[in-house]
Amino acid sequence: MTGPGSTLLVRYGELARRTGRTRRTFERALLKNIDESLLDEGLAYEVRREPGRIFVVTSEPEAALARLRDVFGIRSCSAVIEGPTDLDALVKAGVRYSMPLLPARTTFAVRARRTDDHPYTSMELARTLGAAIQKKRKTLRVDLDHPAVELFVEVRQKRSYIYHDRGRAVGGLPLGTEGRSVALLNDGMDSLVAAWLMMRRGCVPLLLHIGHDPHGGWGPDEAFDACRPLKRFATGHDIRFHSVPFGEVLSAIAGTAEKRHLCVLCRRAALMAADLVADSGKADLVVAGDTLGHSGARTLHNLSVTGQGCGRTVARPLIGMDRSEVDRWAERAGLTPARSLAACCALDASGQGRHAKEAEVADEAMLLDLRELVADAVARRERRVL
């Protein structure tokens, strides 16, 4: 039997529902990302795979667990002890394992599951182990609904696995399985949360900063630094960062367009820039950090008008979230809380209309020769790798 914690049990996320070639492709991507992440951490390890499970054997389980919980595609992972499948030996191992976890007079439950053929059912295993634990410490009480401690046992083929902590990981799909996206960084920290959520769906982002100088907002260095936490979730993948100098575009819009269309045109121009960068970056999707109703430019109607600047699908993963939900995702991703960094420009955005007319906005964009202005700005963009 292996020592406590030297083996880690890794559970798939939703990719376990895939079948055939798709599942094999996703599994290969997940295994590659696991390898890259553990190697990046400088850990020695071995990996083996069984249907629906991955096992990592390492002498540094705590460091490996912390790293694996940030790998997209992993739903949860646990430090386990391995043992035989013989019922008597398994029960003895379970009792030894559980005693340090169960103070007197607490409640507990045993959750058992098995695969393949064994001379006992999952329920029989749970009942037998639970009774043995109570016999060893008579002050314990079983509570299947709200136990203070849960003990888990999995019996798979010729090995058993006992553990008590089902540490949640980030879940989602393995990074790289859904291609590339261009993630706009013109909504402050909300943009980074949106980029992270699409990474969780398998998209490798190209981070596109829209620089507002001299009209305020994030500078390129500040935006680049704010993006650094994303790298932890993307080990083995190049995360490119581009910064487009948009000051002249904003000045032209502010000097020509009707004030009520200012934000709609600015956001439309940013989506034009993202579309052009996506062409060169071979990205299929643009990601924006919009939340519905957050401002006059983000009404459902105006989001449709701004989207006319982009020839690709625009994903808005925050669209139905409130402020507290965005902040929770930001905390999970290790990002600065969403309200602490303002990315808004200094142009006067008061009086924005909630129902801009597409024809009027299109006429103003044509008068400005907006696409040409944006193309010139994109051609002068600064490029880095995160």
Please calculate the CA angle 189-193-195 and round it to the nearest 5 degrees: 110
Residue 99 within any structural domain of the chain: yes
Answer yes or no: do 11 and 159 share one domain: yes
> Residue 339 above 50 pLDDT?
no
Q: Is position 379 within any domain?
A: yes
pLDDT for the residue numbered 32? 95
- Does residue 203 sit in helix, strand or coil? coil
What's the whole-number mean pLDDT along residues 122-139? 95
| Beta-strand pair 204-211/240-245 | parallel
Q: Which residue has the higher pLDDT, 215 or 125?
A: 125
What is the pLDDT confidence band of residue 123, given thresholds at 50, 70 and 90? very high
343 pLDDT above the threshold of 80? no
- Any idea what the CATH number is for the domain that residue 96 is in? 3.30.2130.30
Boundary-marking domain end, from 168, 201, 218: 168
Q: pLDDT at position 338, please?
A: 47
Residue 298 belongs to domain with CATH number: 3.40.50.620
pLDDT at 344: 57
Q: Give the Cα separation of 358 and 356 in Å (integer).
A: 6
Lowest-confidence segment of 9-23, 80-94, 308-322 by average pLDDT: 9-23
Residue 174 included in any domain: no
Mean pLDDT score across all residues of the chain: 89
> Does some domain include residue 173?
no
Please state whether the predicted TM-score (pTM) of the whole model is above 0.85: yes
- Nearest 5°: CA angle at 314, between 75 and 354? 120
Token pair, residue 332, equals 């999970």
pLDDT in tens, 70-116: 999 999 999 999 988 999 999 999 999 999 999 988 999 999 999 88
**Cis-peptide, bond into residue 220, ω within 30° of zero:** no
| 195 and 237 co-located in one domain | yes
39 vs 35, 45, 73, 385, CA distance in Å? 6, 9, 18, 20
pLDDT at 175: 96
Which residue range is the domain that position 122 belongs to? Answer: 7-168
> 230 with 124, same domain?
no
The dihedral sign for the CA sequence 258, 261, 262, 265: negative
Indicate whether 185 and 128 sit together in one domain.
Answer: no
- Kindly state whether residues 164 and 187 are assigned to the same domain: no
* Extended strands (E) in the chain: 7-12, 45-50, 53-58, 74-83, 107-114, 141-142, 149-156, 159-163, 167-168, 180-184, 204-211, 240-245, 285-287, 313-315, 382-385
Q: What is the pLDDT of residue 66?
A: 94
